Amino acid sequence: MSPFSKNAVKAILLAGSLLASYSSMAQAPEFSDRVKGFIDYDQSSILIQNALLFDGTGAPRKANQDVFIQNGKIAAVGDHGSLSTPQGVTILDASGKTLLPGLVMLHEHMYYTSSTAEGFTITENPRTFPRLYLAGGVTTARTGGSIEPFTDLSIRDAVKAGQMAGPDIDATAPYIEGKDSRIFQLARLDGIEAARKSVAYWADMGFTSFKAYMALSQDQMKAAVDEAHKRGLKITGHICATTYKEAADVGIDNLEHGFWAATDYMADKPKGQCVGGSRGGMTNNSPTEGVGSDLIDYMVQNQVAITSTLPVISKGSSVFTGFPENWGSVISDVDRARFDERRARFDNNPQWIEGSDKTLQAAVNYEMEFIKRGGLLVAGSDTTGMGGTLPGLANLEQIHLMVWGGFSLEQAIKVVSLNGAIYLEQQDNIGSITVGKDADLLLIDGDISADIRNVYKSEITFKHGIGYNSQRMIASSEKTVGGPGPN
């Protein structure tokens, strides 16, 4: 019998549909009472009516659109009134509102960083970070390096089991970091074999992504990349001792923080050493000529995805005009005071604000050029930096900042949705508002094309067709985001 006979094809189709029904069954967990308290919509048939729709593919926005959700999937999309739906379908009127795909964000942390008298401190926050990401529309998150590995794995599993509200998680292992690390809480891996063994160990423990860090040498990075790839897993990097080009040469899949963290701009950089970070190389060079342009080309040619993390460099800029009222309530008093004190220093030094604006604009310019040349740009919030980069809020801020810098709304939304899904090789299931994909959606209470700041008004996040109330998740997280108090 030919493998392509009718019966064989039928058997394959049957196996496919069995698999499909198994996976949708697996996606309907028993929700805890705590999680149920955040859910507004759990009906099997829901019709969202009359929304301004951005589908995440980069296609032009469409007004007055209806989206029909059935059994956790997007069953139909069309002009208002054009879809046939069953009797008794639950109607959600989205007139005057915006509908986006659930965000697929690739640099999320379950921790917060604080500057204390004892130095840089990293504090895990397993209680509220997962639901704050969901409140900000994030339905799939790759974490960006782990501080408490077993907590991160537990969060992933608790979300999957319906015991915690949060995005689906691709968990990144503890940082693969070299022996000269400046961060107290990271492993200091000495030598090539230590880097390889770290990847092997954490992969065996259940991590599915990896992150090379700033002090890692190129040889160590090669060992880590090879071990991850041997297991069919991907590895990204926030790097410094090794340049972007050297990382591309050993096969890294992704690099973090756009072109801002690259140390390729300095002709005099000693090989294998992290000296003074990127020393403003990005801002002082052009994306369209010389070393900046060459760097972009090299990343495109070697198919290295780049993660934009604009919120982490925006807090000293003129774009930041304070926390949206609801979101601002989640920061702890201690970290709020730290943030306000730092921001006041910028407000007292207008030239610092100008400098921040220039850096932010340069970052966007490089990223737009990278896309123009065929690169895969993805995005993440990176809940660190000059404080105030809050889970959930920062994911929406990423959209705002891209648009501020010159991206069209359609381009910006594609970066935070479909592009992330493509990187995770999940584009057949998530990342756009497309019939057959998971019903992962973000409903915003306002028209983002009339005012981009409406993007902060997240109302309902649908994940697998379950609608979670954003404002209730935010309100339940009051003053939880922060680190230790003053010494």
**Contact set with Zn ion (CB under 5 A):** 144, 382
**C-beta of 148 vs 440, nearer to Zn ion:** 148
**C-beta of 367 vs 440, nearer to Zn ion:** 367
- Please, what is the minimum distance in Å from the beta carbon of residue 313 to Zn ion? 12
Q: Where are the alpha helices (DSSP H) in 272-375?
A: 281-284, 290-301, 325-328, 333-347, 350-372
Count CA atoms closer than 13 A to 95's CA, side-chain side: 4
- Please, what is the minimum distance in Å from the beta carbon of residue 464 to Zn ion? 27
How far, in Å, CA of 175 to CA of 276, rounded? 20
**C-beta of 144 vs 287, nearer to Zn ion:** 144
CB–CB of 272/291 below 8 Å?
Answer: no
Question: If you ran DSSP here, which 8-state letter would residue 213 be given?
Answer: -
- Please, what is the minimum distance in Å from the beta carbon of residue 110 to Zn ion? 11
- Please, what is the minimum distance in Å from the beta carbon of residue 109 to Zn ion? 6
CA dihedral 318, 322, 323, 328 (to 10 degrees): 150
**C-beta of 144 vs 292, nearer to Zn ion:** 144
CB–CB of 248/264 below 8 Å?
Answer: no
How far, in Å, CA of 168 to CA of 352, rounded? 38
**C-beta of 144 vs 405, nearer to Zn ion:** 144
CB–CB of 247/218 below 8 Å?
Answer: yes
- Please, what is the minimum distance in Å from the beta carbon of residue 255 to Zn ion? 12
Where residue 236 falls (left for φ over 0; alpha for ψ -120 to 50; beta otherwise) is: beta
How far, in Å, CA of 229 to CA of 242, rounded? 19
- Please, what is the minimum distance in Å from the beta carbon of residue 194 to Zn ion? 22
**C-beta of 144 vs 311, nearer to Zn ion:** 144
Beta strands 458-463 and 466-469: pairing type?
antiparallel
- Please, what is the minimum distance in Å from the beta carbon of residue 256 to Zn ion? 7
**C-beta of 264 vs 382, nearer to Zn ion:** 382
User: Which residue from 260, 37, 434 is spatially nearest to 426, judged by alpha carbons?
Assistant: 434
Question: If you ran DSSP here, which 8-state letter would residue 207 be given?
Answer: -
